[in-house]
Structures are given as C-alpha cells and as structure tokens.
Amino acid sequence: MAQLWGGRFTKETDKLVYNFNASISFDQKFFHQDIRGSKAHVTMLAKAGILTDEEKKQIIACLDTIVNDVENGTLSITDEYEDIHSFVEANLIDRIGDVGKKLHTGRSRNDQVALDMKLYVRDELEEVQDLLKNLLTELHKLMKENTETYMPGFTHLQKAQPVTFAHHIGAYMEMFKRDYDRTLDIYDRMNYCPLGAGALAGTTYPLDRNMTAELLDFYGPTLNSMDSVSDRDYVIETLSCFATIMMHLSRFSEEIIIWNSNEYQFVELDDAYSTGSSIMPQKKNPDIAELVRGKTGRVYGALTSILTTMKGIPLAYNKDMQEDKELTFDAIDTVKGCLALFTGMISSMKLNKPAMEKSAMNGFTNATDAADYLVNNGVPFRDAHGIIGQLVLYCIDNDKSLMELSLEEYQAISPVFKEDIYDAISLEACVSKRNTIGAPGKEAIQKTIEINENFLNNI
Ligand code: ARG
C-alpha cells in the first residue's frame, strides 16, 4: 500500500478501508492527463524559479519514461497505489529520488484531480463532437438523396399527413445539431484551469496560473480556489448533454425498429448490423438499435448519480467527489460506442421506397389536402372537414382510398368536387405544396439542406 500521506498516522490503514478509499482501478483512465498536468506544473515551477531548470528537465524526462514503460508493459498500474496521482509520484521518486519529491510543490491532489478530470472530459467532448459530425454528415447525405421519397408522417403513431424520408431525417438532423451546439457551449464554459488552486486556498508559492492555463490550452485560470477544487458542473452539463444525445438516439432507434419490422418493412438493416435467433431460423433482429435504446438508461443513471452526489457537499473538496468518475467514464464510453454504431447502422441500411410510398397512399394521409381543396373552392374549413370526414367513412365502408373514388362518388357528397381533385390529393401534390419554412415541400427542404450544408462546413 503506497500512500502519500503516512506521516501523521501511527497505524496502517485497515485493508477494507484502503480498498474502499482507493480509486486507482478507475482513475488510471486519466493517466495521460495526469502526466500532462504534471509537466505543465513543473514547467511553470521552473519558470517561477521554484525549481531549477535542471530539476524540471529531470522530472519531465522521467515522466516520459514512466509513460513509455506503462505503454510497453514493463511498468503496470496496480492497486498497490491509492490513486493514479500516487502511482506517478511514487514511481518518479523511485527513479530520480529527491528531485522527484519536488513535483508536488504548490499543488494538492484536490486541484490535481480537478484538472485531470477536466482535461479528460474536455478530450472526450472533442471525440464526441467528431462522432456527432460523422452522424450529421450521414444524415445530411440521406436527406439529399430522399427529397422525393414519400412516406407517411405520423402523430399518435397513426398515419397523419404525407412527408418525405428527407423531412423525417431532417427532424433528427435538427436534434443532433442542437446536441453539437450544446457540446460547444459546455466547452466554452468549462475551459478554465483549476491547477494552482491548491487544496482549497491557493498557495504561498508565486505560481503563475496564467502560464499553466495556457500550457494546457485553457482560456485562462479559474477565479476562486474553493470553487476550483469542488466544481463538477461541467461533468453534470456533459452528462446532461449526453443523456439528451442518448434520448435522441433512442427515439431514432425505436423508429428504425418499427420501420424494420415485418409489418412496416420501410427499411432493411444490413446483415452486418443484425443478429439471428438461436431457435428461430428466419429471424434477423435489430439488436444494435435495441441496445442503443437500452443503454440510454445507463447514461441517465450517471447524470442522476452525479447530481445526487454533489447536492449535499459543503465547500470545498470532499471525498464524495471521487464518485464523479466511474459512471461518467461509463457514460462517455457508452455514448461514443452508440454514436459510432448507430452511424454505421443507418449508413448501411437499405430503404424500401415502394413500401414507404404505398403506406403513404393508404390511411388517408391526404385527407387534409382534400379538405384544403374544398376550402380553395370556397367551402369554409369547418364544413370541408365534415365533408371529408363523411367521405373517409364512405371509403372505409367500401374499402377504397380517396384516390380510388370516382368523381360521381365525390359529387354525391359535395358538388364542389371537380376532375382536378385527383391532382390536388396526389402524394406529390400533398408534399410539394407544403413550402412554409421547415416544411417538406421541395423548395422548403432544399433551403433547409443548404443551411445544413453550411452548418457542416463550419464545424
Ligand atoms: N482520488 C481522489 C479523487 O478522485 C483524489 C483527490 C484526493 N484528495 C484528497 N483530499 N483525499 O477525488
């Protein structure tokens, strides 16, 4: 058991207590961030005259050998150390003796861990941005290819009005664009460096916090040393953003599962993204979409957990905060995995355009347009609604669609109907007339696609 703080203790820590307290099993995940922070700290200490240049060089060179040895497997991170900070410092001292003991001058594990976690979350946020960009690029492609792929739009999971596949996908495009923007907002708000805050009250050494902030690519140092060591808002914001991403992926997965079902057959998932059944030979199941939907709960759980952990913590650092890591790491890995797999799944799935179109033609998705036809011919909307309602009932009784009624059948209910009713309620007409901003009509969707293209070119 290698501990940094044995001095004032007369007894060994109880083994169970040691294990309960230790974090090395999970905080080794930010080993590289810890090294980066230490290098910046040491560089600044030398510049401020607190360490000599020679000492700085020795420490940095030794930190590099530790990284190399861990990477090539000659040094392993074991639970003999309490946490990753202790592991690095103990190995440094092992290798270069007294000089190694100077690394922690003017630093506490409290500002060190605050920095490591922030660096880690910041790095991962950037990876999630890249994955979101890949997904958005794929969705954009699908939109461009499907401005005339008709399908039913639903409310209450009942057919409502015809839309296009481009339009439906465009809804998800908006959601993931907002998610992308959220990651930028979080980045901007979190990007201040806590290093130099010490345990809670700064230090008496003349640390140059602007310098370490700059070396670590932060906008600047954090402003209050007590807040610096006990702020985990950025973890909460990140998990909230990730929970939202998962909620969007989960809704989308649910739709893909429905579209891929035997009853709908709007899409067919690629074999590489489907699985079979051990007993039913005919099965091809959408497990990836189901898993994405299912894993959403883990990310929500991580958000609930950190919110609850933080709510009762008095200033400044308390050990409760060590609980910020495991579920956050899991949530980050989950979101990254789901984004990558989801993008692969939708880029390889086949669209069954005839099935979508056929489904859009049935189920009276053009009933609103038939009512609008009457309105355009002078009938007040409420009356038009009633007339079309009667027609729909007639169609249901006679197992016909509105398109299949004869003009005589139309005119038996209202003389306002003329031959041009058929053009007015064709799928193409229903969609192409909808050209208000954000609607599925050709001109409107083209404008949206241009805006999206611009968005993608600027991220
Ligand atoms: N493993 C600890 C954590 O993750 C590091 C900070 C320890 N600080 C302390 N005062 N015990 O929070």
The mean pLDDT value for 209-231 works out to 98
E strands in 165-266: 192-193, 220-221
Structural domain ending residue among the three candidates 300, 321, 353: 353
Structure confidence at residue 280 (pLDDT): 81
In a domain, 330, yes or no: yes
Structure confidence at residue 276 (pLDDT): 81
* pLDDT, tens digit (0-9, with 9 covering 90-100), for 89-134: 999 999 999 999 999 999 999 999 999 999 999 999 999 999 999 9
Q: Is 150 helix (H, G, I), strand (E, B) or coil?
A: strand
Structure confidence at residue 6 (pLDDT): 76
Domain count for the chain: 3
Whether residues 99 and 228 share a domain: the answer is no
Task: Give the binding-site residues of ligand 1, using a 6 Å CB cut-off.
Answer: 23, 27, 83, 109-110, 113, 317, 319, 321-322
Check pLDDT > 70 for residue 2: no
In a domain, 443, yes or no: yes
3 within 8 A of 17, measured Cβ to Cβ: no
Q: Cβ neighbours of residue 182 under 8 Å, at least 6 residues apart?
A: 241, 244
Q: Is cis: bond before 316, omega within 30 of 0?
A: yes
CATH number, residue 66 = 1.10.275.10
* pLDDT, tens digit (0-9, with 9 covering 90-100), for 71-91: 999 999 999 999 999 999 999
Model confidence band, residue 278 (pLDDT cutoffs 50, 70, 90): confident
Annotation marks residue 401 as catalytic = no
For residues 273 and 13, the model is more confident at 273
Using most ligand atoms within 8 A of CB, pick from 110, 111, 120, 323 the residue to mutate for ligand 1: 110
Structure confidence at residue 281 (pLDDT): 79
The mean pLDDT value for 421-432 works out to 93
CATH number, residue 425 = 1.10.40.30
Whether residues 312 and 182 share a domain: the answer is yes
Model confidence band, residue 12 (pLDDT cutoffs 50, 70, 90): confident
Give 26 Cα–ligand 1 centroid separation in angstroms.
13
Whether residues 345 and 417 share a domain: the answer is no
Whether residues 176 and 259 share a domain: the answer is yes
Whether residues 272 and 302 share a domain: the answer is yes
Q: Which of 148-157, 333-342, 358-367, 450-459 has the lowest mean pLDDT?
A: 358-367
* pLDDT, tens digit (0-9, with 9 covering 90-100), for 437-452: 999 999 999 999 999 9
Using most ligand atoms within 8 A of CB, pick from 4, 21, 23 the residue to mutate for ligand 1: 23
In a domain, 188, yes or no: yes
Tell me the pTM.
0.94
Structural domain ending residue among the three candidates 298, 318, 353: 353
Nearest to 306 by CA among 245, 241, 223, 250: 241
Check pLDDT > 70 for residue 1: no
255 within 8 A of 134, measured Cβ to Cβ: no
Whether residues 308 and 388 share a domain: the answer is no
Identify the active-site residue in 25, 76, 261, 277: 277
| Mean of per-residue pLDDT scores for the chain | 96
Whether residues 310 and 420 share a domain: the answer is no
Q: Which of 162-171, 201-210, 250-259, 275-284 has the lowest mean pLDDT?
A: 275-284
The dihedral through the CA atoms of 178, 179, 184, 190 has a sign that is positive
In a domain, 325, yes or no: yes
